[in-house]
Amino acid sequence: MVGRSAVKTVVLPWYRRGEFSSFRYRRTHSASLDEACERWCLAAQAAVNQFLAQGCAVELVSIEAEQFKHWLEEKNRTDSAASRLDYVKDLAARRRNAGGRTPIH
């Protein structure tokens, strides 16, 4: 299409409540796990809203602890924010190549 620019897609990890502790709550915190999960959920939703307001598409990628653990081993990586982001980018690319879901606009 003439005059239409490509929409930037932002890929974000999305944690299920049942698996939140596997990714985000490994060290001692003063807050309970439920409080920490709720804070993360609110911050993540705010980030999604901000990207959408900027005209970006947002692709939320749920990750499961066991699959992520296998990916880390396969890639010889440690669990870190950078590894989690690389993992969801990899999952999103594979899903798009397989004809999977489209991002949220």
Whether the pTM exceeds 0.85: the reply is no
- The one-letter amino acid code at 10 reads V
CB 46 within 8 A of CB 92: no
List, for residues 8-42, the tens digit of each pLDDT value: 888 888 887 777 777 654 544 556 767 778 888 89
Indicate whether 100 pLDDT > 90.
Answer: no
Neighbour-count burial of 83, counting CB atoms closer than 10 A to its CB (0-12 exposed, 13-18 middle, 19+ buried): middle
Query: Which long-range CB contacts under 8 A does 43-51 form with residues at least 24 apart?
Result: 44/12, 44/14, 47/12, 48/12, 48/104, 51/10
Confidence class for position 63, pLDDT limits 50, 70, 90: confident
How far is it, in rounded angstroms, from Cα 91 to Cα 87?
6
User: Above pLDDT 70, what percent of the chain?
Assistant: 78
